[in-house]
Amino acid sequence: MGKTLTMKILDSHLVSEDLENNKLNIKIDQTLTQDATGTMAYLEFISFGLDRVKTELSVSYVDHNTLQNGFMNADDHKFLQTVADKYGIVFSKAGNGICHQVNLERFAKPGRTILGSDSHTPTSSGVGALAIGAGGLDVACAMAGMPFSIVKPKVVGVKLLNKLRDGVSAKDIIIHLIGLMTVKGGVNKVIEYYGDGVKTLSVPERATICNMGAELGATSSVFPSDEETLKFLKIQKREEDYIPLSRDEDSEYDENITIDLATLEPEASCPNSPDNVKKISELSDIKVDQVLIGSCTNSSYYDFVKVASILKGKKIHKDVSLGIAPGSQQVLQMITKNGILDVLLEAGARILESACGPCIGMGQSPATDAVSLRTFNRNFYGRSGTNSAKVYLVSPEVAALSAVNGYISSPLGMKLNEFSLDVDYPKCDSLLYKPTYTSEVVMGPNIKMIPKFEPIGNKFEAKVMISLEDNITTDHIMPAGAKVLPYRSNIEKISEFVFSNIDEGFSKRCLENKSGVIVAKQNYGQGSSREHAAIAPRYLGIKAVIATSFARIHKKNLINFGILPIELDIEAKLYDDIEVSFDEKTITVTNKTTNKSYSKENDLTEEEYKLISVGGLLNTF
Ligand code: MIC
Ligand code: SF4
C-alpha cells in the first residue's frame, strides 16, 4: 500500500518512533513565532545557553500586539528584534503583516516541516508543507535543534469533488467541515485534501482551509504541491522552492470524508463556537452592526478582489461599521496599486493596520449586544472584547455583501471578477530583517524571567478552584485583548487575569488557597497555543487539571510546565477537597468531600512522567 502525503512528509522527517506510546519525534525545518507568544519562547530559548538557532530558517513576527498603549508592547518588540538579530532569526517588524500571511508569501516551502508558536501555523500547509502549531517552549526546543514529538496522527482524507459555485468560498468549505467534525473532531489527526476539486483551489484558498483546520483541533492540514502551488511560488518570485508532492494513488486514509464543492452554499459559524454552523440562507433576517474583513484566515489579495467586486460603486449601510485589515504589506501595496483601496474607501471602509488587530480583541470591540460579522477563525466567548456581542464567522463575500445591505446576506450566484488576479506581486522586504549577529539583547522592565516551579510531587491535596463544562478555550483560561496582551512577558501580572472573563475571583482564590486543581469536561484548552494558559495557572498554584479530554497543544503546554493533566470525568464542585496520587502506572483521584474515588492507568509517556516529576521541561536544562 502506498503512502498518504502526510505520512510521506512525516517519514522524511522522522528522527525516532516511540511505538509503545504511539509517538513520532520529527525534525523541524523552519520555525515561526509571533510577539504575543514569542517573548516567552525566546526567554526559554535564551535559557538553553546556545549562541544561535539550529533550524534551516526561523522567523520572528510582530503582529499581535501593535497597539502600544504604554511602554510594554514596544519594549517587547525591541526585545524580539534584538534577540532575532543576536541568535540568527529573521525579524518581521510590526506593520509587515500577520505572521501566517507573510510566512505563506515569503517562506513556506512544499515538503518542509514548520513549527510555530501559534495555533494557526498550519496556514503555511497551503503550499504542501506540514506546518504545526505548538507552545512556545516546544518551538524554543525546535530552534535548539531538538525533535518535536507528536502523537502519530490519524490521517483524515477529505476528497473534494467538482468546483465551488459563484459566491461560494474556500471559507465555506472549512466552515462546513467544522460543522461536520466539530471543534474536537480533529484532535491528533491531520486533515489531508485530495480529489479533483483540489486543482480548482488557489494557494490562498487552500491556506484559508488549512488555517481554520486549527478549529477542528487538528495537528495540521495539508494540500498537495501541484501546478497551483508552482503558480503561487512563481508569482511570489520563488519558483525555485517548488517541488511536486502528492499522495500515492493506492494510499488509504484512517477516515474518509467527501465534499462535493458544487453543492456547498455560503455558511457561517454562529456565536460562540466555530462548530455552531448554519447556512447563510437560514440567517438572512439578522441585522448587522459591524463587519470586519482580515485576519490570518482571509486577508490575501485574492480575498480583497472578491470584496472589492462586491463593494464597487456601493456604499455600506449607515448602521454598519466596516473595518478592513490587509494581511501584509504586499497585500496592502497590491490593493493600493490595483484600485481596490479606492473602492474600499469610497464604500466607507475603515482601513486598519496589517496585523491581527480585532481578531485578538485589540480594538474594534463591538457595541453591547451587537452583531459582528468577521472573516476570522474564532468567535469564542469574550474574544472580541465585548462579552454580549454576537460574532459570526463568514467568508469575505458574505461579509462585504452584508456590510452593504445591513443584514446577513448570501452572495450565492454573484460573479465576482471585477478585478484581475493576474497582477504583479511585489516582493516587499522593507520590514524584514536578516540577522547580523551583532545585537545585544534589550530587555525592558515589563519583561520578567519565567518563574521557577517546584515539582508537584506524587501525592498532593488540593481544592477545586473552578469546575467547568465542555470545550473550555484558552481564551476562557487566559484572555487576550488590549488590557491583557501587554503582560505576555510578565507572568506574575498576567496571572491576575486567569479566567477573569468568566470568574473574576479565580486568581485571588488560588493565591489564598495555594494548592488547587481545575476540573473540566471534554476538549479542555481548545484554541490558541498560548502557553500562558498553563504557566499562569501554575504560578497560581494549580497542580493538576482533571478533564474528560484535552486539546493537543494545551495538554503539552501543561506537561511542559509541570501541571498534571488527568483524563478523567469526575464530579466535583468548587472548594471540594481532592487528593491526587500517581506513579508510572496508575493515577488515583479522590474527592474527599464526596468520598468518591477514581482510578485509571497512567497514560503519560515515560518522558512526560519525568517532566512532571521534575517540575517541567525548563527544570531539565
Ligand atoms: C489566537 O488566535 O488565539 C492567537 C492569539 O493567535 C494565539 C496565540 C496567542 O495566544 O498568542 C494562537 O492561536 O495560538
Ligand atoms: Fe492573529 Fe487572529 Fe490569526 Fe491568531 S487567529 S494569528 S490573532 S489573525
DSSP 340-389: HHHHHHHHTPEE--SSSGGGGTSS-PPPTT-EEEESSS---TTTTS-TT-
CA 63 to ligand 2: nearest atom: 1
Work out the pLDDT band at 361, boundaries 50, 70, 90. very high
Residue 485 in contact with ligand 2 by CB distance below 6 A = no
Q: How far apart are CA 408 and CA 282, in angstroms?
A: 10
Instruction: Say if 5-263 and 267-405 have the same CATH topology.
Output: yes
CA 295 to ligand 2: nearest atom: 8
pLDDT digits (tens, 9 = 90+) for 114-137: 999 999 999 999 999 999 999 999
CA 100 to ligand 2: nearest atom: 6
CB atoms within 10 A of CB 242: 21
Residue 587 in contact with ligand 2 by CB distance below 6 A = no
Is residue 326 a contact partner of residue 446, using CB atoms and an 8 Å limit?
no
Handedness of CA 275, 276, 280, 281 (dihedral sign): positive
Give the distance (Å) from ligand 2 centre to CA of residue 98.
8
Lookup: cell for 430: 522593507
Residue 228 in contact with ligand 1 by CB distance below 6 A = no
Q: Which of 42, 120, 220, 497 to mutate to test the pocket of ligand 1 (most atoms within 8 A of CB)?
A: 120
Handedness of CA 308, 314, 317, 323 (dihedral sign): positive
| CATH assignment, 267-405 | 3.30.499.10
Give the distance (Å) from ligand 1 centre to CA of residue 121.
10
What pLDDT sits at residue 38?
97
Q: Enumerate residues 6+ apart whose C-beta is below 8 A from 100.
A: 116, 118, 120, 121, 123, 124, 207, 211, 296
pLDDT digits (tens, 9 = 90+) for 327-345: 999 999 999 999 999 999 9
Percent of the chain with pLDDT over 90: 98
Q: Between helices 552-560 and 136-143, what is the axis angle to 10°?
A: 70
Residue 118 in contact with ligand 1 by CB distance below 6 A = yes
Residue 353 in contact with ligand 1 by CB distance below 6 A = no
Q: How many residues does the chain have?
A: 621
What pLDDT sits at residue 142?
98
Give the distance (Å) from ligand 2 centre to CA of residue 63.
9
The answer on pLDDT for 285 being more than 90 is no
Q: How far apart are CA 390 and CA 592, in angstroms?
A: 41
Give the distance (Å) from ligand 1 centre to CA of residue 530.
6
The average pLDDT across 226-230 equals: 98
| CATH assignment, 459-480+489-616 | 3.20.19.10
The answer on pLDDT for 621 being more than 90 is no
Cis before 377? omega within 30: no
pLDDT digits (tens, 9 = 90+) for 48-92: 999 999 999 999 999 999 988 899 999 999 999 999 999 999 999
Look at residues 536, 574, 573, 579 and name the one whose alpha carbon lies nearest to residue 554: 536
Q: Domain ranges for the chain, please list them.
A: 5-263, 267-405, 459-480+489-616
- What element of type H or E holds 101? helix 99-106
Handedness of CA 441, 114, 329, 290 (dihedral sign): negative
Map grid coordinates 463544562 to a residue: 469
What pLDDT sits at residue 172?
98
What pLDDT sits at residue 380?
96
Q: Enumerate residues 6+ apart whose C-beta is below 8 A from 554.
A: 474, 524, 525, 526, 533, 534
CA 532 to ligand 1: nearest atom: 10
Look at residues 203, 138, 240 and name the one whose alpha carbon lies nearest to residue 553: 138
- What rounded mean pLDDT belongs to the chain? 97
Counting ligands in written order, which one lies closest to the CA of residue 299? Answer: 2
Ligand 1 atom 13, closest CA:
528
Give the distance (Å) from ligand 2 centre to CA of residue 209.
14
What pLDDT sits at residue 605?
93
| CATH class of the domain comprising 5-263 | alpha beta
Q: Between helices 71-87 and 35-47, what is the axis angle to 10°?
A: 50
The average pLDDT across 194-199 equals: 98
What pLDDT sits at residue 428?
85
Residue 36 in contact with ligand 1 by CB distance below 6 A = yes
pLDDT digits (tens, 9 = 90+) for 454-464: 999 999 999 99
Percent of the chain with pLDDT over 70: 100
Query: Under the phi-then-psi rule, with left for phi > 0, alpha for psi from -120 to 50, and beta for the rest, what region is 387?
Result: alpha
